[in-house]
Each structure stands twice: as C-alpha cells, then as structure tokens.
Amino acid sequence: MNWDDTTDTSAEERLVGASADREDQAVEAALRPKDLGEFIGQEKVREQLDLVLRAARARGATADHVLLSGAPGLGKTTLSMIIAAEMEAPIRITSGPAIQHAGDLAAILSSLQEGEVLFLDEIHRMSRPAEEMLYMAMEDFRVDVIVGKGPGATAIPLELPPFTLVGATTRAGLLPPPLRDRFGFTAHMEFYEPAELERVVHRSASLLDVEIDPAGAAEIAGRSRGTPRIANRLLRRVRDYAQVKADGVITKDIAAAALAVYEVDARGLDRLDRAVLEALLKLFGGGPVGLSTLSVAVGEERETVEEVAEPFLVREGLLARTPRGRVATPAAWAHLGLTPPRSGAPGNGQGDLFGA
C-alpha cells in the first residue's frame, strides 16, 4: 500500500495532523515568511542556504539545485518561495504526482524562463521516465523530446535555459541516488524547538491581529509537535475560543482550555494518540502486544495506528516498536498518570498469540 496516500487522507481530519488541509492552504499564504531573515529556526539550513544564494547572486549565476527534505509542515514550500524571492526570480510550482508522463515534464521545462525556480513538491512520487528526463535537465540543461513512435521515433535535443530546481520530499531515502546526487545542496529540516515555535506563534498572532501573551504562546507551542503548520492551526482554534468565551486575548489558561475542548493534550497528543497509549497500558499492561491486536482494541485500522498515531508516539519516546510487538515506555505511564506494574512483570503475552 502507499504510505503517502493513507497519511495524506487520514491526517487531514486531525487538528494535529501535519498535512495542509483546505483551511490551512487559505491562510498559509498570509503567514509565510517572505525572506530568509523572517524564517524562524533551522539555523544551519538558513546559514548554508544564505551562502549558496549570496554566492550565486554575486556571480550573477543561477543558484544550484536544492533538495529540501523533512516532515510535512516544517517549511519546505515556504523555503522554496524564499529561494525564488532572494534570487529575484519567478517560481513555477508543481509536484511529483502531477507529472505522470515525461512529456508533462518536458512541457514545463521547455517553458521555463532563464533563472526561474522550479519547485517540485513530493519529488519522490514522480514517474520513472520523468525522473530520467529530469537527470539530464538538471545536469546539462537539455531534454530529449521524442517525436514519433516505435522504430521511427527520434529524439530531438532541446536546450533549456539555466534554472534552479528546488525539490521537496518527506522521504529523502526514497530518492534514487542518481537524482539525489544531482542536487548541489541538500537541506534536511528538523522538528522545531518549543522556543522557536513560540516565535512562530507570536509572529502569526501579530499577522492575524490577535493579542497573545508569552505564556499563551508557550502553551500553544508546547502542543504543536515541533511543527509550525500545527502551531499556526492551533493558534487559529485558540483564537476562536478566546473570541467566543473571553475578551479575545490569548493567555495560558485560555489556550489550555481551548485545546482541552479540541482534545489536544499538554504534550500535543490527540484523542487517537491517547486511545492507542491507553489501550496499550490498560489492556495489555504496557505490552509487548502485536499491532493488529492493539488496532482492534482501539477500534481503528491497522494502518491508521501504524502510520498516523505511532510515528509521533515513537518520536516522543512514549512507545517503542520491538520485534515482539509494541511496548510502552515509562514515560507513557507517567504521561497518562498510571502506575506501571512491578518491574520485571511480563506483559500478558497476547501480542505473541495474535502476532504482529
């Protein structure tokens, strides 16, 4: 099954899902930092990218191709737009899934202006023939356009103007090495620190004309799972609450009360995350328990538990995936305010019966 498709759809309905839903797309344009100076956090990436772009500008040349990798909502699309802005170049936006045939890519490439930035989102989902065409375009600024079919087909080489490809992927590991090697600069985006997310929240609040105090911003940042997109989304929900239930000003108490309504807890877990942890602890004594068994206990599809809930629980150190099944960590017991069974006591072994 396709990992991306399932997470894209199931994450969309979650307040703490990291993919952009329709509402996000509408407001994101307004909240996007416009240049590197406005872009918060990611110090290393910013410093390196700044050098790449400055040097290219000083040479009067087109910037090297850039690959941005990292989880959804960390700022890849934003950075691609910043690259174009800093180079004072136009930007063309497309995505791997939109390029089904090599011909689609040829059409885009041959209509690029000199120095243009081509942003290729989800580059790991491009078709194979398009990928091979891209190799040559990136390296030699040339594509072979195939005219005709069968034995009579001929390749007509077409010169391209120099351009900068900015590729974005949530999964750099899925890129074929020949493609990865053709990027002059690769940036891996990390999850954000709480202090950085606080700055994101303050900045967005001011753009949205919402009054918020530092403790209120900290409260939202702490529940945002290291992800600016989630921080911005939680901020909008808290703003609604503050408007309806209070005087519109976001304080720590208002943020906490609002996010309690939306069932996003102090650490950013939502109802699904907590249901998984609770089943693991209360029904299976902390595990190990097989994924299928755990999913049935939660009343969710196996894929939903594995791909939507688990990655964050693992990243937070609340759950571990072991060969014998899922296991809760001591932090999970503490987070749900439960007492673990005496140390050394085994789980009830149901995971072994049903298999992972």
Catalytic residues: 76-77, 121, 170, 229
Number of residues near Mg ion (by CB under 5 A): 1
Residue 7 within binding range of ligand ADP, rule CB under 6 A: no
Q: Using CB distances below 5 to 8 A depending on partner kind, what does residue 14 bind out of Mg ion, ligand ADP, none?
A: none
Compose the 50-79 pattern: x for residues touching Mg ion by CB under 5 A, - for all others: ---------------------------x--
φ, ψ for residue 257 (rounded to 5)?
Answer: -65, -40
Number of residues near ligand ADP (by CB under 6 A): 19
Question: Which positions ≥6 away from 290 have C-beta within 8 Å?
Answer: 325, 326, 350, 351, 352, 354, 355, 356
Which single residue is written with the structure tokens 């290393």? 44
Q: Using CB distances below 5 to 8 A depending on partner kind, what does residue 293 bind out of ligand ADP, Mg ion, none?
A: none
- Of the candidates 41, 286, 288, 347, which one interacts with ligand ADP according to CB under 6 A? 41
Coil, strand or helix at 286: coil
- Of the candidates 8, 21, 28, 352, which one interacts with ligand ADP according to CB under 6 A? 28
Of how many residues is the chain composed?
Answer: 356
Burial of 104 (0-12, 13-18, 19+ CB in 10 A): middle
For the four alpha carbons of 130, 132, 136 and 142, in that order, the dihedral sign comes to negative
Q: Using CB distances below 5 to 8 A depending on partner kind, what does residue 74 bind out of ligand ADP, Mg ion, none?
A: ligand ADP
Task: Pick out residues in 57-76 that bind ligand ADP (CB under 6 A).
Answer: 72-76
CB 234 within 8 A of CB 220: yes
User: Closer CB to ligand ADP, residue 200 or residue 327?
Assistant: 200
Sheet with 164-169, side-by-side order of all strands: 91-95, 117-121, 164-169, 66-69, 185-188
User: What does the binding site for ligand ADP look like in residue numbers (CB under 6 A)?
Assistant: 28, 31-33, 39-42, 72-78, 200, 228-229, 232
User: What does the binding site for Mg ion look like in residue numbers (CB under 5 A)?
Assistant: 77
